Structure 1
């Protein structure tokens, strides 16, 4: 491995970390409760939903990194995939009008947390199949 390859690797990892954290920050802004406070309280449902968001974001980011040789193209495809993942939340909220997802998560409804976790992970695989 050359010095230039090492620098490319370090820059790539740094960009991936920043994009992952930025993605999680945006998701935390979407929830009407404080994600970290719910985790401190031991709220398993909120933890499952947050973990699904993290893993879903990581899947989209990982496929973007794997399928693109340019950091700019990786970031662009991640942004497109991430917007799709955010839309999944809003569409899921829209198609379940009798269930206020955020209230159920804040109240610790593990069934809702598990479902949302798997929706994020499943949709991230589907979205990632479009990233080329």
Structure 2
């Protein structure tokens, strides 16, 4: 029975992580995967930060909840905070169109966004506990 519960949890976690990345891909005006194929390091860094920020929230949600439903709900709350971070950060930097800089390969913006996503992932995770 424990193995079945573990397998179900792994499947749910994997689906939520992938769904989170698909949704993140939809908020950028360019295709993340196409930019990665081109070798765009800035997009790779930002995408990796999104992935890690999402994984942090999902990991804490899984660790602190015994129910898959509660885990998914807390992940949704944390994930929405992570999504809003992109829009808020874009809003508070009006002279800096983040998506344009990422698409042009501005590595400094990619690094900055990666750390913003990871930092928000940690910060939001503290709310889940």
TM-score normalised by the chain length of structure 2: 0.99
Matching of residues 45-64 of structure 1 within 5 Å? 45-64=42-61
Instruction: Specify the alignment match of 1:40 in structure 2.
Output: 37
Specify which of 77, 80, 96 is matched with residue 77 of structure 2: 80
Give the unaligned 5+ runs of structure 2: none
4+ runs deviating over 2 angstroms? none
**Unaligned stretches of 5+ in structure 1?**
none
Partner of 2:113: 116
Once the 2 structures are TM-superposed, how far is the Cα of residue 24 of structure 1 from its aligned partner? 0.2
Q: Distance in 2 between matches of 1:18 and 1:117?
A: 22
Alignment partner of 1:107 is 2:104: yes
Q: What is the correspondence of 1:21-36 to structure 2 with a 5 Å cutoff? A: 21-36=18-33
**What does residue 127 of structure 1 align with?**
124
For these two proteins, the number of residue pairs brought into alignment is: 129
Q: What is the alpha-carbon root mean square deviation over aligned residues? A: 0.4
Cα distance in 1 between the residues matched to 2:33 and 2:8: 28
Structure 1 residue 34: deviation in Å? 0.6
Shift of 1:123: 0.7
Q: Which residue of 2 aligns with 1:93?
A: 90
